[in-house]
Structure 1
Amino acid sequence: MASLEQLTFSNPYASLPPEFSVRVRPAPLAEARLVSVSPEALRLLDLEEAEAQRPEFVEVMGGARLLPGMEPVATVYSGHQFGVYVPRLGDGRALLLGEVHNAAGERWEVQLKGSGPTPFSRMGDGRAVLRSTVREYLCSEAMHALGIPTTRALCVIGSPEAVYREEVETGAILVRLAPSHVRFGTFEYFAHTEQTGHVALLAEHVIARHFPHLAGAPDRHTRLFSEVVERTARLVAQWQAVGFAHGVMNTDNMSLLGLTLDYGPFGFLDDFEPGFICNHSDHSGRYAFDKQPRIALWNLSCLAQALLSLVPEDALRAALESFAPTYSALWQARMREKLGLREEREDDRGLLEALLARMAESRTDYTRFFRALGHFDSSPQARNEPLRALFSRPEGFEAWASLYRTRLAAEGSVDAERHERMARVNPKYVLRNYLAQTAILRAQQGDFSEVDRLRAVLSRPFEEQPRSEPYAAPPPSWGRHLEVSCSS
């Protein structure tokens, strides 16, 4: 393992033409201190936990000290926000310090989020608040533990420095890691400003670093877009299967690598509500849970338009047309796993839709139901009372259970074996909003222990953790309908 000073930084993105980014010096927070650090994310940089306890760690990760090779830049991009094109966005409160090449041969970009104003701050202060920073930190690491592609969160740096939002809050910096932070909106910016040469340059940069198997191929740009379509379909299928709502699926929040990017007003389903809206600013429900696949395709069409100078229109259309069947197949495969089914059959979708309809009717807790379903007793006389109790209309569950029992018998399913399979794919612990809010309230009082405790629980979402049983409970009455906004 390396020490902080042994990290070798470079910033290939900063070597692109000046139209791609602006060099900005971080503005460190006053009296910066470490709030929490992810041991798993530390290891991505070949660092041990002890390194994070050194004062130098906060200096570097808080932007007060630059290591050799760091070239902080704010990157430019545009994007469609709630369906409306905004011609110039960019990193308004984030800085890309550079990337670290670790011992495993991986490259990890290190980005500070909340490190002060940039030319893209749009009258903002360039800061982030502790509240939103803790939420992104916890969710990034929780999503990784669930096996869902995501940016990673190295640590949270806090400060008593005042930041003004709807009310006075305290500032914080999130240190975020990703192989790349390039977004759909990065391509959109250069396409809509008619800088087609830079569209091509960006595509070559992305291919060389993240899709090297396409390098030099005559149709590399076409294949790049096809792979982005597939990665996006896979990502959204994973979101839907685990019950995750992103909340702000603007094109500037869509990763070219198919990572979950920019955690704002996200939410995991409590009661199953297909039209769940986790962002109280989303008055039209554009980004409701059940609309996420459709919005992903819409966003891909915006990216396709940005690539028209590189890829024939018919090839772009063909790739877009592949999204729906690809997503459907991936989602159904995930849901079969959640049901413990080993075989694919024609009536699978009907079985799934019948279950989800009954769950919606009873507002059944999504995570708790699928975890409990692993204990389903398939014998004809079994009543499965714990499962029935999760439905306000148990007769609806009983009707579905009869179909499920028949389906399990048809493939010779063995209950004990099925239980083990289902426990590996149906999490017991997810980051419910009330859990995050509890950790935030304590952190705002200077007690960061709940942030660490919750992160540790969520790092093992599929395991039984007897001492952490309360974290698997449904939300209390005060936490059932918490409103989350884009304010950060």
Structure 2
Amino acid sequence: MTTTAATAASAPPSDTPSGLAWREGFAALGPAFHTELVPTPLPDPHWIAGSPDAAAVIGMAPGWLGSDAAVQVLSGNALLRGMRPLASVYSGHQFGVWAGQLGDGRAILLGETGNGHEVQLKGAGRTPYSRMGDGRAVLRSSVREFLCSEAMHALGIPTTRALALTGSPAPIAREEIETAAVVTRVAPSFVRFGHFEHFAARDQVAELRALADYVIDRYYPECRSAGEASGGNAYAALLRAVGERTAALLAQWQAVGFCHGVMNTDNMSILGLTIDYGPFQFLDAFVPGHICNHSDSQGRYAFNRQPQVAYWNLFCLGQALMPLIEDTELAQAALEPYRSLFPAEYMGRMRDKLGLAAAAEGDAQLVDDLLALLAAGAVDYTIFWHRLSQAVAAQDFSPVRDLFPDRAGWDAWAARYTERLAREDRPQAAARMQRTNPRFVLRNHLGELAIRAAKDGDFGPLHALQAVLARPFDEHPDHAEWAGFPPDWASSIEISCSS
């Protein structure tokens, strides 16, 4: 029997103490911004995984996560008192093309906690913005999002969090029949560039202003006292501030070798968070033009294009804010810092990876030449950096040298690096590298192994991988194989926008 949204509406709220209080938050903006609705219940939901760390962040009572009541609430089958579920409307550019109205097609915001975190279910059923979709998410993609959200947080990269993952035997049709799952996501805000584009495209200036004022007052209050650089214009200051956060985020992505895969404007967070984990990938071999999204036939979102795409998306945000900024020169000036801040942030990250405490002439060339060597040899990116960290500590570069087909090229670069490193405190350099270069990242094949086990009802590998990724800089000798080279079959894994 199919359970409908009407059934969910009649389900009584759960009174099991969760420790959570709720406030109005985004809902207060009114019906032009969202549609209130209840999730569509899932039959026979079961617990898969949770993040006690994320639970603590939102103020959840210890022990509630994973309880029977939590399974029901976080699968969309019950509500806690004070929740006000809704789906928000936005628009956006997808693969560089204006897509018009989009919105939360399978995400339902349950509400905002008393300490200012929004809690959202992904895969909780159809909404008015689902278009031709069913509003559901499948186990395969949900496992990937749950693991990567928490892994990125452990790497120190701004991200939405994953509070919980629940599953259901309900069949979901994609390329094949799969089973349903729901990820509970947490963030200070899920507002995207596309929210602003939506109201600008419809010439709804009052709503655009209300949204911008909400974001400024809640998340960027410093923009109210915008200085000369923003002409005293709070909305230009907002654009500048979002650009600064986005530049810092992209620098972190590029430094760790993370490919987002689908950087549409509706997948860009106004807070500079990594959001919407779809066809993502951490690089195996360092291939600058790597395309992780099988749906990206033109390579728009290739790894080395991500920084420029982010700027293009910021330009779209600037266009959307023009009815409020009302000055083209101010808007252009607000966008300009990204162009200098990203390379500065990126070089800062790369110096940390190399153990260099302060900038010196020639550092940029040293990094560029290293990346060229890595690319020429298709050297494994994560393994290289971890081995280099160990080599600096042990003063033995031979394990790193073994990674390069071009030994002479490596030797020449290593001589320059050793000379540069001589100006640093060696133990401090090694320590800096070891807390910057992870031993473990969520490689595609590791996620695939966890997914295969989960499909068979075994969540042990998922839990073990989650625990390792929560401490990515540790050695974890019992799971050393997860830090090794990917198997040959890893290159055949295809990740697309389908989920």
Name the TM-score class by shorter chain. Answer: over 0.9
Distance in 2 of aligned mates of 1:19 and 1:86: 19
> 1:266 deviation in Å?
0.2
Mapping 1:72-83, distance limit 5 Å: 72-83=85-96
Conserved? CA contact 1:9–1:67, under 8 Å: no
Conserved? CA contact 2:17–2:61, under 8 Å: no
Mapping 1:335-350, distance limit 5 Å: 335-350=350-365
> Partner letter of residue 366 of structure 2?
L
Corresponding residue number in structure 2 for 1:302: 316
What secondary structure, in the 3-state scheme, does the structure 1 residue paired with 2:186 have? Answer: strand
Distance in 2 of aligned mates of 1:310 and 1:254: 20
The one of 430, 433, 450 aligned to 2:444: 433
Q: Does 1:62 align with 2:75?
A: yes
> 1:383 deviation in Å?
6.7
Distance in 2 of aligned mates of 1:87 and 1:22: 18
Mapping 1:215-364, distance limit 5 Å: 215=224, 218-311=232-325, 312-364=327-379
Q: Does 1:153 align with 2:162?
A: yes
What secondary structure, in the 3-state scheme, does the structure 1 residue paired with 2:117 have? Answer: strand
Q: Does 1:136 align with 2:145?
A: yes
Conserved? CA contact 1:79–1:251, under 8 Å: yes
The one of 75, 79, 101 aligned to 1:88: 101
> 1:3 deviation in Å?
7.1
Distance in 1 of aligned mates of 2:62 and 2:442: 24
> 1:377 deviation in Å?
5.2
Corresponding residue number in structure 2 for 1:207: 216
Conserved? CA contact 2:239–2:335, under 8 Å: no
Distance in 2 of aligned mates of 1:377 and 1:324: 33
Conserved? CA contact 2:146–2:183, under 8 Å: yes
> 1:10 deviation in Å?
2.3
Corresponding residue number in structure 2 for 1:485: 496
Conserved? CA contact 1:378–1:405, under 8 Å: no
> Partner letter of residue 13 of structure 1?
F
Deviations 1:433-458 (A, max 9, x none): 00000000000111111111111100
Distance in 2 of aligned mates of 1:141 and 1:52: 16
Corresponding residue number in structure 2 for 1:180: 189
Conserved? CA contact 2:123–2:137, under 8 Å: yes
Unpaired runs of 5+ in structure 2? 1-14, 227-231
Q: Does 1:37 align with 2:46?
A: no
Conserved? CA contact 2:268–2:275, under 8 Å: yes
Conserved? CA contact 2:18–2:64, under 8 Å: no
Unpaired runs of 5+ in structure 1? none
Q: Does 1:444 align with 2:458?
A: no
Distance in 2 of aligned mates of 1:384 and 1:261: 38
Distance in 2 of aligned mates of 1:237 and 1:278: 18
Corresponding residue number in structure 1 for 2:472: 461
Distance in 2 of aligned mates of 1:198 and 1:330: 34
> 1:126 deviation in Å?
0.4
Distance in 1 of aligned mates of 2:398 and 2:175: 46
What secondary structure, in the 3-state scheme, does the structure 2 residue paired with 1:202 have? Answer: helix
The one of 11, 14, 19 aligned to 2:32: 19
Conserved? CA contact 1:4–1:47, under 8 Å: no
> Partner letter of residue 370 of structure 2?
L
Deviations 1:336-368 (A, max 9, x none): 000001120121110000000000001111011
Distance in 1 of aligned mates of 2:17 and 2:492: 42
Task: Name the stretch that deviates more: 154-163 or 41-50.
Answer: 41-50
What secondary structure, in the 3-state scheme, does the structure 2 residue paired with 1:248 have? Answer: coil
Distance in 2 of aligned mates of 1:260 and 1:398: 37
Corresponding residue number in structure 1 for 2:409: 396
Conserved? CA contact 1:27–1:63, under 8 Å: yes
What secondary structure, in the 3-state scheme, does the structure 2 residue paired with 1:447 have? Answer: coil
> 1:378 deviation in Å?
9.5
Q: Does 1:116 align with 2:125?
A: yes
Distance in 1 of aligned mates of 2:388 and 2:490: 25
Q: Does 1:421 align with 2:405?
A: no
> 1:329 deviation in Å?
0.3
Conserved? CA contact 2:355–2:433, under 8 Å: yes
TM-score, with length taken from structure 2: 0.93
Conserved? CA contact 1:11–1:97, under 8 Å: no
Structure 1 residues 14 and 346, CA, compared in 2 at 3 Å: closer, same or farther?
same
Conserved? CA contact 2:440–2:468, under 8 Å: yes
Conserved? CA contact 1:4–1:57, under 8 Å: no
Deviations 1:102-160 (A, max 9, x none): 3xxxx110000000001111111100000000100000000000000000000111001
Task: Name the stretch that deviates more: 451-460 or 477-486.
Answer: 477-486
> 1:222 deviation in Å?
1.4
Task: Name the stretch that deviates more: 280-289 or 3-12.
Answer: 3-12
Distance in 2 of aligned mates of 1:301 and 1:364: 34
Structure 1 residues 377 and 6, CA, compared in 2 at 3 Å: closer, same or farther?
closer
Task: Name the stretch that deviates more: 466-475 or 214-223.
Answer: 214-223
Task: Name the stretch that deviates more: 13-22 or 258-267.
Answer: 13-22
Distance in 1 of aligned mates of 2:355 and 2:75: 45
What secondary structure, in the 3-state scheme, does the structure 1 residue paired with 2:32 have? Answer: helix
Task: Name the stretch that deviates more: 212-221 or 235-244.
Answer: 212-221
> 1:53 deviation in Å?
3.1
Distance in 2 of aligned mates of 1:116 and 1:418: 50
Deviations 1:363-396 (A, max 9, x none): 11101111111133599xx772201111122211
Distance in 2 of aligned mates of 1:166 and 1:284: 22
Structure 1 residues 67 and 308, CA, compared in 2 at 3 Å: closer, same or farther?
same
> Partner letter of residue 280 of structure 1?
H
> 1:216 deviation in Å?
6.5
Conserved? CA contact 1:228–1:257, under 8 Å: yes
Task: Name the stretch that deviates more: 272-281 or 308-317.
Answer: 308-317
Percent identity of the aligned residues?
Answer: 51
Deviations 1:148-176 (A, max 9, x none): 00000001110010000000000001100
> Partner letter of residue 50 of structure 1?
G
Distance in 2 of aligned mates of 1:399 and 1:289: 27
> 1:305 deviation in Å?
0.2
Distance in 2 of aligned mates of 1:238 and 1:459: 18
> Partner letter of residue 244 of structure 2?
E
Conserved? CA contact 1:109–1:178, under 8 Å: yes
> 1:473 deviation in Å?
1.1
